[in-house]
């Protein structure tokens, strides 16, 4: 490594360095220095680094400072659009100012994040909106569109990502007119891509990265060959995200969208030339019948559930709905071919319905070797997916394409020094690995407890026992408790038992339950300082920062093993068995260890935080693999009884 870059990085993190001079609250950490120098070495040598950095290390600054000081072009990818905005709008400007480096930065998101002026113009006259609230939202978008420079819908406060207005005023790869669009010169998507290509550092997200690797539609594929370093923060989510987006997908919402666009364009530009209502109705009927066939006997669906392909496709149950969809799409394509000369909208619509017909025919056939199929079913749509089992081949291909630095970092990447949980699923066994522990004083500030006499997770009494225990612990704190469940199914049972026990004890606990309000509203209410108990499932296990005494008890209902009947899990089990490996040891326990670390990571977020972690699963005490899972957690002090746990919580409550 160039001594010059090493010296500059070390100077920036020193007690009297650039960061300390700019921010009086900056605290130099040995762990942060180690990570920053490892990143600098990877950037200089164009190497591959996989680094696990515990909570409190400050990994964001540890990778951004070397990038900014290296004078190299870089791509930074993180897990979500909100984390993207945090990096671009808060962290990077602070560092650029502190370091005094002339760096051009850009933010690049997917199409669905940017206003499409052409579709907005059509929406004014053709949009079919479900209610008055949506009409008011569209009016807000129209007003904002007159002044926005970026076209990023995140600028519109209060516009929910699930709003029915968003698909109407944004483009997709399928419906974008490209250079034929009358608004092409002022297109916000194209503007964002131009700014990204001209920038020294570009911030993207994992969904965009993998979707673009598959579809070549958002500019990342053109951008990646031009950068010297690619950094992936929150890298533990890469495999799951990649598997979702590198696959082939056919969704009933996709069919409904093209039907809606076909009807709107037909009535606006070619009324009377084709039976537009009938064509749209045919697509809609086919989409609904396909979703019904996918759902089978399921009538009520909460959230998104994965269904096994062989169960739904058995005896050819999906054959006729897929054939009907292909016929409806072919009929629409024939009609659109007859009016293609009217305008570019009809050419793109014809391409879209042909793609749907091709996908319907593909899913009617057997899946390709080495790929797994499943169905994502939600209350509103079914999505058929065929995907690779991991991202090894894709990442290997990208790493071999050109010499550049590849850096992957997260607070949880495995349980061993080789970080095998992550490197084996990504083909990064040859990477340099680094584990940097948290600087927090876990032994003195945190306690952990596994109840000894407790129903087993497969016993009917377990959810009620979890809820009752949560009420007793939260009662000692006056709230300030997370109850994390491994499944949505038990969530209402635990919440009800919690309410019942709290009432019996005379505790006035406010109990917030996932699904009762939007996630953001629940977190805002929980963190407002008045004390509450939040019962949540998977989406609350990570990415939540509740520093201070707002959260001082995290209770996990059972060990977070992957669901054995999940189609992806089943496929990975078959793969491991074919390789002669033990799936339980190599996969189930490894996955549980990482998920357990993620859930436990909600508890201690700063040097002064104190709290209690409870895992309501006696297997963590009794089974041989329990020692491995306990060792994966931060070095908390263990307590042996509910009395000791309550004593600790009473001590914390007295300080509140």
pLDDT digits (tens, 9 = 90+) for 224-247: 888 999 999 999 999 989 988 888
How does DSSP classify residue 315?
G
Q: How far is it, in rounded angstroms, from Cα 631 to Cα 448?
A: 12
Crossing angle of helices 132-145 and 117-126, in 10° steps, is: 140
Tokens 């977070």: give the residue.
Answer: 560
Distance between first and last Cα of the chain: 48
Is 561 within 8 Å of 592 (Cβ atoms)? yes
**Residue 427 structure tokens:** 């083909």
CA distances to 156, 166, 181, 417, 640 from 147, rounded to whole Å, are: 12, 18, 21, 52, 61
Q: How far is it, in rounded angstroms, from Cα 507 to Cα 263?
A: 57
The residues, any chain, with a CB within 8 Å of residue 642's CB and separated by 6 or more, are 449, 451, 469, 472
Nearest to 258 by CA among 282, 293, 274, 292: 282
Question: 642 burial class (0-12, 13-18, 19+ CB within 10 angstroms)?
Answer: middle
Is 53 within 8 Å of 86 (Cβ atoms)? no
Instruction: Give the pairing of strands 446-449 and 611-615.
Output: parallel
Nearest to 617 by CA among 609, 625, 606: 625
Is 470 within 8 Å of 483 (Cβ atoms)? yes
Q: Which residues of the chain have pLDDT under 70?
A: 1-3, 126-128, 215-219, 297, 299, 302
pLDDT in tens, 95-139: 999 999 999 999 999 888 999 999 898 887 766 677 788 888 889
Is 192 within 8 Å of 108 (Cβ atoms)? yes
Q: How far is it, in rounded angstroms, from Cα 156 to Cα 189?
A: 17
Nearest to 375 by CA among 330, 333, 312, 445: 312
Q: How far is it, in rounded angstroms, from Cα 186 to Cα 117?
A: 8
- H-helix segments, 367-461: 392-401, 420-426, 442-445
**Residue 287 structure tokens:** 């989409």
Q: How far is it, in rounded angstroms, from Cα 565 to Cα 306?
A: 9
pTM score: 0.87
Is 33 within 8 Å of 7 (Cβ atoms)? no
Q: How far is it, in rounded angstroms, from Cα 23 to Cα 427?
A: 39
Backbone φ and ψ for 308, nearest 5 degrees, come out as -70, 135
**DSSP calls for 160-194:** -TT-TTHHHHS--TTT--GGGSTTGGG-HHHHHHH
Backbone φ and ψ for 485, nearest 5 degrees, come out as -105, 155
What is residue 400's three-state secondary structure?
helix
Is 76 within 8 Å of 220 (Cβ atoms)? no
Q: How far is it, in rounded angstroms, from Cα 517 to Cα 79?
A: 23
Nearest to 564 by CA among 551, 552, 554, 574: 574
């Amino acid at each position: 490594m160039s001594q010059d870059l090493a010296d500059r990085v070390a100077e920036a993190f020193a007690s009297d360095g650039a960061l300390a001079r700019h921010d009086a609250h900056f605290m130099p950490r040995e762990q942060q220095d180690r990570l920053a120098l490892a990143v600098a070495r990877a950037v200089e040598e164009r190497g591959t680094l996989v680094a696990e950095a515990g909570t409190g290390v400050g990994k964001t600054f540890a990778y951004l400072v070397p990038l900014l000081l290296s004078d190299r072009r870089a791509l930074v990818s993180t897990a979500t659009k909100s984390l993207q905005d945090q990096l671009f709008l808060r962290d990077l400007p602070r560092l650029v100012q502190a370091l005094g480096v002339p760096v051009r930065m850009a933010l690049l998101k997917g199409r669905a994040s940017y206003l499409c002026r052409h579709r907005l113009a059509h929406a004014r006259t053709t949009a079919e909106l479900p209610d008055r609230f949506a009409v008011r939202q569209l009016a807000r978008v129209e007003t904002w569109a007159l002044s926005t420079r970026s076209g990023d819908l995140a600028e519109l406060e209060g516009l929910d990502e699930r709003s029915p207005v968003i698909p109407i005023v944004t483009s997709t790869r399928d419906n974008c007119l490209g250079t034929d669009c009358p608004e092409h010169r002022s297109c916000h998507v194209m503007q964002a891509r131009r700014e990204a290509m001209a920038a020294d550092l570009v911030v993207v997200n994992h969904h965009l990265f993998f979707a673009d690797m598959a579809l070549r539609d958002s500019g990342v594929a053109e951008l990646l060959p031009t950068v010297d370093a690619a950094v992936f923060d929150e890298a533990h989510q890469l495999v799951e995200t990649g598997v979702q987006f590198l696959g082939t997908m056919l969704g009933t919402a996709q069919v409904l969208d093209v039907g809606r666009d076909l009807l709107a364009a037909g009535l606006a530009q070619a009324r009377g030339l084709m039976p537009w209502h009938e064509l749209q109705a045919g697509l809609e009927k086919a989409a609904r019948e396909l979703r019904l066939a996918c759902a089978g006997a399921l009538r009520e669906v909460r959230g998104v559930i994965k269904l096994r392909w062989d169960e739904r496709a058995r005896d050819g149950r999906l054959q006729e709905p897929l054939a009907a969809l292909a016929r409806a799409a072919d009929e629409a394509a024939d009609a659109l071919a007859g009016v293609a000369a009217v305008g570019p909208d009809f050419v793109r619509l014809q391409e879209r319905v042909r793609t749907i017909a091709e996908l319907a025919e593909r899913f009617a056939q057997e899946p390709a070797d080495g790929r797994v199929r499943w169905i994502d079913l939600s209350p509103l749509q079914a999505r058929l997916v065929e995907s690779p089992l991991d991202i090894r081949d894709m990442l290997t291909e990208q790493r071999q394409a050109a010499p550049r630095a590849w850096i992957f970092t997260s607070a949880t990447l495995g349980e061993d020094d080789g970080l095998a949980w992550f490197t084996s699923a990504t083909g990064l066994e040859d990477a340099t690995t680094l584990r940097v522990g948290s600087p927090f004083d876990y032994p003195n500030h945190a306690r952990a407890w596994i109840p000894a006499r407790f129903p087993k997770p497969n016993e009917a009494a377990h959810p009620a026992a979890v809820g009752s225990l949560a009420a007793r612990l939260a009662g000692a704190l006056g709230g300030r408790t997370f109850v994390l469940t491994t499944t949505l199914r038990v969530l209402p049972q635990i919440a009800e038992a919690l309410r019942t026990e709290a009432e019996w004890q005379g505790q006035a606990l406010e109990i917030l339950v996932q699904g009762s309000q939007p996630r953001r509203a629940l977190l805002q209410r929980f963190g407002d300082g008045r004390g509450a108990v939040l019962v949540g499932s998977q989406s609350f296990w990570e990415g939540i920062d509740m520093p201070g005494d707002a959260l001082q008890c995290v209770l996990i209902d059972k060990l977070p093993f992957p669901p054995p009947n999940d189609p992806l899990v089943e496929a990975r089990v078959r793969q491991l068995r074919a390789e002669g490996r033990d799936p339980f040891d190599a996969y189930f326990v490894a996955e549980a260890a990482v998920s357990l670390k993620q859930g436990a990571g909600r508890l201690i977020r700063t040097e002064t935080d104190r709290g209690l972690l409870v895992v309501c699963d006696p297997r963590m005490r009794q089974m041989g693999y329990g020692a491995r899972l306990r060792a994966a957690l931060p070095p908390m002090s263990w307590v042996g009884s509910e009395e000791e746990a309550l004593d600790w919580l009473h001590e914390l409550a007295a300080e509140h």
